[in-house]
Amino acid sequence: MAKRDRTLEALERLAEAVTDPHAPAARAALSKALGARSNLVVAAALEVICEHELSGFEASMRAAFDKAMTDPVRTDPGCRTKVGVVKALDLLSEPADELFLAAVRHVQPEPVWGGSQDSAVALRGMAAMALVNRRNPEAMIELARLLADPEREARRMAADAVAASGDVAAGVPLLILRIRAGDPEPEVLGACFAALLALDAADTFGFVVEHLRGRDELVVEAAALALGQERPAGALAALRAFVESTLLEPRRVGLLAIAMLRTEEAWAYLLELVAEAPEGLARGAIEALGVYRELGDLAARAREAAAGRADGGAGLERSLAEHL
């Protein structure tokens, strides 16, 4: 209890000292906090540095990182210090490539009920993005490793970093390989498809659309949502063809992807389905339009389309009430 009280007191003193973060007293308090035993105090100081983009603490931050890498489960549970240092150094555009390379490979299993849990997942992803931001020559190599990371979030963050790299020559093959190898997590597949389109939509569009015709529903859904998210040319036509050629569950995701395009043409198509399609498909279109229920005009148009049906939209009343 006493230890927790000392930590709380240190946090309170730091908060009081940094009311004016640019004052000399605040800088002295931040320097002291970066050397604190508690990683909660160190992390709080790093948050202030990031929030106000304060320079001049690079040496202290590196020292805090090195300390946190020594017996890390004890000195930095949850990787709070290491994550904060990577975030701050990247934000401040400091030349810290060696530190980022150490962070991107760091694994920190910590005991939890029933086993252990890696607390360094976000750290690896953030360090990878920092390497990309620096155009480090080893960045794509590290991203290749991270795309095969055991942890889902690390793989997803790796895909985002590949997209941010702008490196078509290296990034596209890596993402295609990840997709072809398969992934049990649709979130990862979706990030990979989206990254492909972000890198080179013209040349990868066909590859993504090809997966709308796959047998694995998770892959189909990931490809559809990526088209909706990235909105490449031709996405509406491809998604329409997909919706109109399947009766399977992914059709609902296809309708949602069409809504995500956020174009009048896409919304007009969904409204047309509400007005004329069989009830099951019309209900799916209403559900997709429900994403924009705050847009009163669109909701009104959907109700008007339903009212124009032969039965006056009686079969769609519940869907309209639930989603719009």
pLDDT tens string 195-226 = 999 999 999 999 999 999 988 999 999 999 99
Helix or strand (DSSP H, E) at 151: none
Nearest-angstrom CA–CA distance, 97 and 89: 10
316: confidence class by pLDDT, cuts 50, 70, 90 = confident
Long-range Cβ contacts of 115-120 (<8 Å, 24+ apart) = 118/150, 118/151, 119/77, 119/78, 119/79, 120/79, 120/82
Average pLDDT of every residue of the chain: 94
Would you say residue 52 has pLDDT above 70? yes
Q: For residue 222, what are its two tokens?
A: 């990931």
Closest CA to 204 of 184, 183, 226, 236: 226
Is pLDDT above 80 for 295?
no
| pLDDT computed for residue 1 by the predictor | 46
The DSSP call for residue 57 is: -
What confidence score (pLDDT) does residue 4 get? 57
Distance CA 191, CA 173 (A): 15
User: How far is it, in rounded angstroms, from Cα 91 to Cα 146?
Assistant: 22
Q: Look up residue 117 and give its DSSP letter.
A: E
* 183 burial via Cβ count (<10 Å: 0-12, 13-18, 19+): buried
> Which residues, including other chains, have CB under 8 Å from residue 93's CB and lie 6 or more apart?
133
- Tell me the mean pLDDT in the region 125-133: 98
In the chain, % of residues over pLDDT 90: 83
Per-residue pLDDT for 142 more than 80? yes
For residue 240, count other CB atoms closer than 10 A to its CB: 16
Helical axes 97-104 vs 80-91, angle rounded to 10°: 140
Prediction pTM value: 0.91
Mean pLDDT of 127-146: 97
For residue 117, is it left (φ>0), alpha (ψ between -120 and 50) or beta?
beta
| pLDDT for residue 34 | 97
Statement: residue 110 has pLDDT above 50: yes
Rounded to the nearest angstrom, the gap between the alpha carbon of residue 137 and the centroid of all alpha carbons in its chain is 24
Residue 28 scores a pLDDT above 70: yes
- pLDDT tens-digit series, residues 73-109: 999 999 999 999 999 999 999 999 999 999 999 999 9
Q: How long is the chain?
A: 324
